[in-house]
Amino acid sequence: MRIDVLTIFPEYLAPLRAALLGKAIERGLLDLTVHDLRDWTHDVHRSVDDSPYGGGPGMVMKPQVWGEALDEVCAGEVPPRLVVPSPAGRPFTQETARQYATESRLVFACGRYEGIDQRVIDDAARRMPVDEVSIGDYVLVGGEVAVMVMVEAVARLLPGVLGNPASAEQDSFSDGLLEGPSYTRPEVWRELAVPEVLRSGNHAAIARWRRDRALERTFHRRPDLLATLPDQALDRHDRAV
Ligand SMILES: Nc1cc(-c2ccc3ccn(Cc4ccccn4)c3c2)[nH]n1
């Protein structure tokens, strides 16, 4: 997968080249290019923002600079999917990550200030799929952190990136539930013991116990997820938990 990121703070994306994702890039599983949006300015101040029409606080990112940058970065046989982080976007979920992981190209546009002139998104939508997405109900200072979240969530789903593919298959949310608790050695730590069933070797009982803990945790922390589960996702035992 090829990923391009446009930002006025390229250094903000440096962590994407560390650790697991850095290895995926080195192994050619992911092709990541981070572009400095100011490379498409033509004035001596390299300005990218201006005052908002209609008044209001802060500044808005100019359409001209974004237009030229996207024309160049998004050029090619197959138009990429353009992903624009925004507090006003549709929620980015694990399902979004799964869909994005099937794309051959993604371009992420990192806004700053109060956001990007809407005409940039409207113009791009004339020639490529455009998603305005939110990573949560809070307001960040710009799109860069949101892009790092999304790139990590997508890249880990690419074949070969995770050492153990089962991890991605058993993700929280993969069966619509939150993951339950995990344990490792020692058997007792600060007088807290590992649940007996996990040391029993009874794999059916272990699977049942893990599902029960996932159901309990989801019920208490994210009842909204239970409401969206398809009826057949819960068996009679599940409903009794
Ligand atoms: N889930 C999210 C995404 C964002 C996000 C994404 C991109 C930008 C570009 C600028 N800002 C700051 C901003 C935008 C609008 C109103 C006030 N502040 C952003 C914030 N915040 N929370």
Answer yes or no: same fold for 2-155 and 172-240. no
Q: Per DSSP, what are the bridge partners of residue 20?
A: none
Q: Which two tokens stand for residue 75?
A: 């050029």
The tens-digit pLDDT sequence of the chain (241 residues) is 999 999 999 999 999 999 999 999 999 999 999 999 999 999 999 999 999 999 999 999 999 999 999 999 999 999 999 999 999 999 999 999 999 999 999 999 999 999 999 999 999 999 999 999 999 999 999 999 999 999 999 999 999 999 877 677 666 666 899 999 999 999 999 999 999 999 999 999 999 999 999 999 999 999 999 988 887 778 888 888 8
CA-nearest residue for atom 18, ligand 1, is: 114
Does residue 114 have an active-site annotation? yes
Q: Using the mean position of ligand 1's atoms as its centre, give its distance from the Cα of residue 159 in Å.
A: 31
Q: Tell me the CA–centroid distance for residue 189 and ligand 1, in Å.
A: 43
8 Å CB contact between 135 and 149: yes
Domain ranges for the chain, please list them.
2-155, 172-240
| Residue minimizing CA distance to atom 13 of ligand 1 | 114
Question: Is there a catalytic annotation at residue 213?
Answer: no
Q: What is the pTM of this model?
A: 0.94
Does the active-site annotation cover 169? no
Q: What is the CATH architecture assignment of 172-240?
A: Orthogonal Bundle (1.10)
User: Which CATH architecture describes the domain 2-155?
Assistant: 3-Layer(aba) Sandwich (3.40)
Q: What does DSSP assign to residue 153?
A: H
ipTM surpassing 0.95: yes
